[in-house]
């Protein structure tokens, strides 16, 4: 079938895609490096790509201004303070925060989540309730809860689509301790499966007395989030995941009525109104200033406002429509890939349709005899053709465990590796014990600069692997030592 005929069939199946046509012009103008380099980028959940116009605008600002550390009243400092504060307001407005929230600039979403974990008033009477598909940066909060003696509970996922069990979750939310503050944490969208969770859980949990942390890092790059409709106590975001540039800046949005609950375990430069060495005393600054440790990334922060304007000019609904159409087509094509003997080639981890799911598509491949193909080998072969995928567990062990059907016994077996327990070694251990299970997967994710050619190229890359035994496809060529230093990242 010709490329034109293939695209025509796609449009017949997903006619809404035609309304996103101006994104093709944007790609030619602002993301031309993709096609010039022959690159197929399908790692938008790992990081969005920046538009060239964003960088030019930011560079022009830096070239024309004299900017200093904002913690002062000199002209260079005041000029920079104006940019930081206008960007702070722009972020709040972008998410419809009104006057209900404060915004704390952080190095990334992880930094935002750590602020919540270290400052939340966990106690032996508290509970930390989290969905199993939270990112490790949310999972790490359990260590603060554990240290305070709080109870820790994870909400399981359904085996078929990796969604939450509503009856189970509702019952757990009913078990909030009356005598202590407790925290419920969930992602708006799973960075592993692409599942979009029902955000009415935020309202439900708050009505039942929980404080709610919503990790929106994987959701907001392609979806509009209005804090007047969905109102968590805490919201974490990372800007490079939204629009690619700048890296090194994230944010924590905190409801003003919740801020007084937080008790910072330390202070730093920029977070205090006064401190003394002689009397071992300090006075924290008011509002968000008490949480912005040291000097914020002030030269990069104005680029956040530029990035928000970039998204606003495109339209979040337009981005969402394009991602939905491309994801739908890719899901359908992956499902149709089968070996000549009828055995499935692709095992999808997550929903098979676009219903309540985003553009993050995670899967594993199997040969005609049912042997699992090394996902690292697929990433390696894809890279040789200019396709950027991501493999591993994506800092989401709970979703991976549910997707692979890993048992408590499997995890206990992994623990016997001690300090050598990493993903490649764990996979080898599972295979050596012939457990029929693995760990890790392949992830393709779609974003604002994606087009039909990108997803078609991925399917075209995979198709020649049909009917080949695992041995013919080969093993990853990187050494074990190299694998040890590759982090299982987002």
Catalytically annotated residues: 395
- Counting other chains too, the contacts that 283-291 makes at CB distance below 8 Å and 24 or more residues apart are 287/102, 287/259, 288/88, 288/102, 288/103, 288/104, 288/105, 288/254, 290/264, 291/104, 291/115, 291/119, 291/252, 291/262, 291/264
Gap between the Cα atoms of 40 and 429, Å rounded: 33
Pick the closest to residue 469 from 395, 364, 373 (CA basis): 373
The pair of three-digit structure tokens given for residue 2, joined into one six-digit string? 């010709």
Pick the closest to residue 181 from 286, 260, 104 (CA basis): 260
Tell me the C-alpha to C-alpha distance, in Å, between residue 365 and each of 5, 345, 453.
28, 5, 22
DSSP string computed for 291-308 = GS-SS--TTTHHHHHHHH
- Which of left, alpha, beta for 299 (phi over 0: left; psi -120 to 50: alpha)? alpha
H or E element in which residue 252 lies: strand 250-255
Greatest alpha-carbon pair distance for the chain in Å reads: 80
The pair of three-digit structure tokens given for residue 261, joined into one six-digit string? 């609950």
Residue 281: strand, helix, or coil: strand
Q: Are 14 and 329 in contact (CB under 8 A)?
A: yes
């Amino acid at each position: 079938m010709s490329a034109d005929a293939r695209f025509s069939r796609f449009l017949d199946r997903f006619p809404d895609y035609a309304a996103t046509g101006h994104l093709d012009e944007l790609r030619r103008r602002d993301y031309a490096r993709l096609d010039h380099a022959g690159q197929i980028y399908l790692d938008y959940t790992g990081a969005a790509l920046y538009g060239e116009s964003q960088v030019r605008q930011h560079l022009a600002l830096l070239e024309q201004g004299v900017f200093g550390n904002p913690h002062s009243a000199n002209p260079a400092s005041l000029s920079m303070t104006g940019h930081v504060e206008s960007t702070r307001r722009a972020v709040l407005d972008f998410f419809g925060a009104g006057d209900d929230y404060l915004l704390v600039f952080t190095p990334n979403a992880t930094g935002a989540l750590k602020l919540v974990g270290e400052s939340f008033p966990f106690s032996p009477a508290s509970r930390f309730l989290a969905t199993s598909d939270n990112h490790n940066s949310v999972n790490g909060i359990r260590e603060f809860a554990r240290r305070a003696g709080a109870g820790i509970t994870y909400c399981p996922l359904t085996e078929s689509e990796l969604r939450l069990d509503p009856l189970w979750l509702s019952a757990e939310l009913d078990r909030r301790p009356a005598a202590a503050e407790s925290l419920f944490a969930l992602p708006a969208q799973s960075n592993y499966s692409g599942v979009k969770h029902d955000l009415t859980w935020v309202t439900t949990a708050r009505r039942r007395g929980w404080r709610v942390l919503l990790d929106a890092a994987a959701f907001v790059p392609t979806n509009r989030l209005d804090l007047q409709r969905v109102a968590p106590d805490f919201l974490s975001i990372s800007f490079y995941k939204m629009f690619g540039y700048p890296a090194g800046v994230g944010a924590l949005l905190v409801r003003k009525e919740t801020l007084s609950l937080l008790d910072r375990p330390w202070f730093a430069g920029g977070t205090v109104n006064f401190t003394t060495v002689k009397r071992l005393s300090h006075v924290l600054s008011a509002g968000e200033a008490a949480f912005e440790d040291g000097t914020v990334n002030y030269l990069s922060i104005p680029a956040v406002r530029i990035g928000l304007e970039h998204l606003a000019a495109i339209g979040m609904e337009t981005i969402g429509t394009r991602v939905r159409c491309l994801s739908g087509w890719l899901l359908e094509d992956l499902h149709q890939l089968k070996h000549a003997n009828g055995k499935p080639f692709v095992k999808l981890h997550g929903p098979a349709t676009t219903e309540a799911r985003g553009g993050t598509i995670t899967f594993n491949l199997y040969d005609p005899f049912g042997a699992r193909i090394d996902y690292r080998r697929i990433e390696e072969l894809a890279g040789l053709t200019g396709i950027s995928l991501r493999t591993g567990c994506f800092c989401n062990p709970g979703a991976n465990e549910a997707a692979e059907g890993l048992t408590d016994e499997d995890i206990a077996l992994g623990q016997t590796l001690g300090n050598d327990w990493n993903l490649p070694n764990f996979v080898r251990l599972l295979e050596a014990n012939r457990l029929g299970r693995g760990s890790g997967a392949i992830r393709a994710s779609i974003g604002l600069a994606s087009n039909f050619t990108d997803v078609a190229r991925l399917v075209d890359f995979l198709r020649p692997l049909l009917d080949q035994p695992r041995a013919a496809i080969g093993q990853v060529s990187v050494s074990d030592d190299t694998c040890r230093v590759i982090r299982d990242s987002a």
